[in-house]
A and B are shown apart, each in its own frame.
Chain A
Amino acid sequence: DTGVSQNPRHKITKRGQNVTFRCDPISEHNRLYWYRQTLGQGPEFLTYFQNEAQLEKSRLLSDRFSAERPKGSFSTLEIQRTEQGDSAMYLCASSFLTVSGANVLTFGAGSRLTVL
């Protein structure tokens, strides 16, 4: 499988619990993005990495959210003390820059979080 892989695909948890999602990007891609998508909406930016450096974080990323990409390969997104409002699809995407400067983007299948 040479695509972007996300695990788990679906997580059901009780309010207050911590959850962690993992994303394995395409190996040649140096950029990795996390997005959140709720029903009927387009993806909302959370954060992105270039290699292991976290270059940008959205205001949506409260202090309960943390993302890491320790070796510049896979990434984890952790949500602490989950709230019902955190229920959403968490999408990971990876990209590389072509020689013409275009950013080629590939999405994973997403991790759906349901907080009860």
Chain B
Amino acid sequence: KNEVEQSPQNLTAQEGEFITINCSYSVGISALHWLQQHPGGGIVSLFMLSSGKKKHGRLIATINIQEKHSSLHITASHPRDSAVYICAVGTGNQFYFGTGTSLTVIP
């Protein structure tokens, strides 16, 4: 069983749609990270959060510590948002990663 589960694995959306990616985890964490990886590209950290909600532009991340669940929302999606989004949880010493959600936004 993976410590971090993401859904959906693949997601195709029309430009402008509201997108939600979910992450559930089974370990105690100090923080949860949402990461973005473009094809052939490196990994960029979008958010690190340990409670509540954070917003950067069109991206919103929420976390519910009691339910061990986080969501990443993208409002007014754009083709340049097409990437793999990875949820990672930090336990203090170690990080566990989901397998990622591959998002394709069609113009």
- Taking CB atoms, residues of chain A closer than 8 Å to B33 are 105
Please state if B99 and A107 are interface contacts (CB–CB under 8 Å): no
Given the complex of chains A and B, what is the CA–CA distance between A101 and B91 in angstroms? 10
Point out the residues of chain B lying under 8 angstroms from A33, CB to CB. Answer: 95
Q: How large is the interface on B (under 10, 10 to 19, 20 to 34, 35 or more residues)?
A: 20 to 34
- B69-105 vs A, CB cutoff 8 Å, 1 = contact: the mask equals 0000000000000000010101011111111101000
For the complex, is A25 an interface residue (Cβ under 8 Å from B)?
Answer: no
Q: How far is the CA of A93 from the CA of B99 in the complex (A)?
A: 17
Residues of chain A lying within 8 A (CB to CB) of residue B35: 107
- CB-based contact B100/A42 at 8 Å: yes
Binding site for A on B (CB under 8 A): 4, 30-31, 33, 35, 41-45, 48, 50, 86, 88, 90, 92-100, 102
**Which residues of A approach B to under 8 Å, CB–CB?**
33, 35, 40-45, 48, 55-56, 91, 93, 95, 100-110
